[in-house]
Structure 1
Amino acid sequence: MIADIQKGNQTNAGKFMEPVANHYGITSIEFGLEVVKLLNEDKLVFQKGDSPSKGKIVFTNDGTHPVEAGHDIYRDVLVRSLKSIENFGTPGKHIIPKPLAENNFSGASLVPVTKAKFSKNWQNVDLGDETMINDDLTDKNGGTKTLFEKAMKTETIGETFTLKWEGFLLGFTSILEAKGAIKVEVTTDGISKIFDMKSRNGKTQTKYTFLKELKRGVHTTTVKLIKLAPGKVFQVGQFLVVDHQ
């Protein structure tokens, strides 16, 4: 996001978030401006190792997640911003306007993986206990318990699962790998499409995969594993079904 902010442009995420905030009259606070300001003033090193850091704030160790000094910046921006807006607005009832987009997720629900029908060679996955927390408060399970809730896995090409659902959009949780490592054939109401279950950065990730939006109604989706790289596993968890309110 640094390059966009330095040019005075909205970030890729903000381009989607700000119109929603404006539509519903929600105040927003941009934390990145202060970070880039300190970076431009040579008072901050964005990532440890980028440049000599003596006497400067080190914002992050991994290029993404702020360390304590980074969160101190966020805290100060939040306090300053809240003080500046505390006298704005009128107390009272507020009418929520019509949705900005018809295909919003307000009617979304999570469906457990147990609702799907699996072929023979699938196994339950032991996701551990969500209460297993490291000393730094990170999840010992890497967040997989929270994402998947329950999960099934297979290492056999040709295995399938089928889910009958009602709505206009279906997503399912899965383990993503490098491009080409896992491919599935997804058939919904007789129409098939090949999906490459690739991650954003080429490394193993746990994410949602969303299918194409359909006309609202009852649908049947079958997912068939058609390619699996050696040593990899195809793992799926709970589903996200989106319906109109």
Structure 2
Amino acid sequence: MNTITTKLIAFTLLTIFSLASVQADPPEYHAVQAELIKPRQGIGNTVKKLKSGEEVRVAYLGGSITAANGWRVKTTKWLQSEFPNAKIHEIHAAIGGTGSDLGAFRLEQDVLQHHPDLVFVEFAVNDGGRQPEAIWESMDGIVRQIWKSNPQTDICFVYTFRVNYEKDLRKAENPRAASAMELLADHYGIPSINVALKIAELEQEDKLKFTSDTPVAEGIVLFSKDGVHPLDAGHEIYTEVIASAIKQMATTSQPVNHSSKLKQPFVKGHWTDAKMIPLDASMLSGNWKELPADHVLQKRFGGRLSQIWEADAPGSKLTFRFRGSQAALYDLVGPDGGQVQITVDGKPHKKLTPRFDSYCTYHRISTLRLAEGLDPGQIHTVTVEIDAEQPDRSSVAFRLKNPDEELKSAKYQGTRIRVGKIMLRGELVP
């Protein structure tokens, strides 16, 4: 064997070993043992600033359980009392009914632009219906976006409770969504706090009822009315567990630069490239208009959607091009919502997509999926066009006292489409 051949073999082996060090096998899901607190590498950067009396920005990214004036507000107040010399700033980044899939897209706007020191991530309930692989993609994207923005930012996962989660928790196992998140947390050394486990334990000890239609006995905590959203006493339990976890991590955590963890993603399809882009007049045709600042919907939702654009004339279009794999709209659904024809790369969707559903007795933030799984290296063209017909509104009838009359009222008439931003995994092409 000559010298050149020997060097070539050595180089090939070195290349193989180098690739093996950065390319892990795809993760496999399995149920993870439930533990109240898993400090892992802790929140050392935050603890250092708290103890030094510095400014500390704490973000709460989650769904309606976090959006409520409950554990989020109580935890901020506890931090302020526990570290009186520090200046605690709360970043409220929770939206009801949303999971980590939307969280990955709105992270920059709602969290990162405010320069957080610590980010609590609470999606174990709203991600409950998603598959582990889907959860990993969006949660991995959230983690990697945070540390790409600032590797000194600490992250902590919080797992909240809903009825039926007790079935797994009684076996000392996490429900599927929390188990999926725990596997990712292990990979990155992210601490987690399982407040759901505490609720299940108290119920087993006959100290708490998940929900009840009748008054509970004295000394028994009524957790919620619906089995999901805690009453004040339930939020108080959440806060006590979180406070205990922070105290524990304050004694063990050391400051960490998380940048080295970005070398090895947990999954290949992580949503680090998820972003939101404002609408531009050049994308629009028809009778689109910007809602004025004093419009009731702009005042109510502008903080999340930014400038809202509205159109209702059939044939009005939103058209844009992008290079990437996925696109959606960050929009509103409501009682006067219309329906749209979506066309991607010249191929129209088989069915019209309504911006109305069985909950639409009111307006709320939603997402309109346009395209997924596209070739990320190609330029794609997307068109969203308002249809002339209203969507079927009978699905909301069971929520109305007099549906036959109410569905004829002006409230439930219209073909209106209201959009805040484009959600992309990729880059907009002018």
* 1:57-96 matches, cutoff 5 A: 57-60=221-224, 63-84=227-248, 93=257, 95-96=260-261
Greater shift, 214-223 or 189-198, is seen at 189-198
Partner residue of 2:424 out of 238, 241, 245: 241
AA matched with 1:206: I
SS at match of 1:157: coil
AA matched with 1:224: E
Greater shift, 228-237 or 56-65, is seen at 56-65
Q: Deviations over 1:26-77 (max 9, x none)?
A: 1211111111222343433445x53313533333456543343222211211
Partner of 1:224: 385
- Rounded Cα–Cα distance in structure 2 between residues aligned with 1:121 and 1:141: 21
Partner of 2:341: 185
Query: Gapped runs of 5+ residues in structure 2?
Result: 1-161, 392-411
Shift of residue 209 of structure 1? 2.5
Alpha carbons of structure 1 residues 125 and 60: separation in structure 2 relative to 1, 3 Å: farther
- Rounded Cα–Cα distance in structure 1 between residues aligned with 2:256 and 2:332: 46
Q: Deviations over 1:119-146 (max 9, x none)?
A: 22222223559xx9xxxxxxx954x113
Partner residue of 2:177 out of 13, 22, 26: 13
Identical residues among aligned pairs (%): 23
Answer with 1 or 2: which has the greater Rg: 2
AA matched with 1:234: I
- Rounded Cα–Cα distance in structure 2 between residues aligned with 1:198 and 1:63: 28
Higher helix share: 2
Query: Gapped runs of 5+ residues in structure 1?
Result: 133-139
- Rounded Cα–Cα distance in structure 2 between residues aligned with 1:190 and 1:198: 22
Q: Deviations over 1:141-171 (max 9, x none)?
A: 54x1133111111222322110122322112
SS at match of 1:2: coil
- Rounded Cα–Cα distance in structure 2 between residues aligned with 1:113 and 1:120: 14
Shift of residue 24 of structure 1? 1.6
TM-score (norm 1): 0.77
SS at match of 1:13: helix
- Rounded Cα–Cα distance in structure 1 between residues aligned with 2:413 and 2:276: 30
Alpha carbons of structure 1 residues 159 and 63: separation in structure 2 relative to 1, 3 Å: farther
- Rounded Cα–Cα distance in structure 2 between residues aligned with 1:215 and 1:52: 57
Alpha carbons of structure 1 residues 71 and 199: separation in structure 2 relative to 1, 3 Å: farther
Over aligned residues, Cα RMSD in angstroms?
A: 3.3
Structure with the bigger RCO (C-alpha within 8 Å, sep 6+) is 1
| Match status 1:53 vs 2:209 | no
SS at match of 1:77: helix
Partner residue of 1:150 out of 307, 314, 317: 307
Alpha carbons of structure 1 residues 200 and 184: separation in structure 2 relative to 1, 3 Å: closer
Alpha carbons of structure 1 residues 167 and 90: separation in structure 2 relative to 1, 3 Å: same
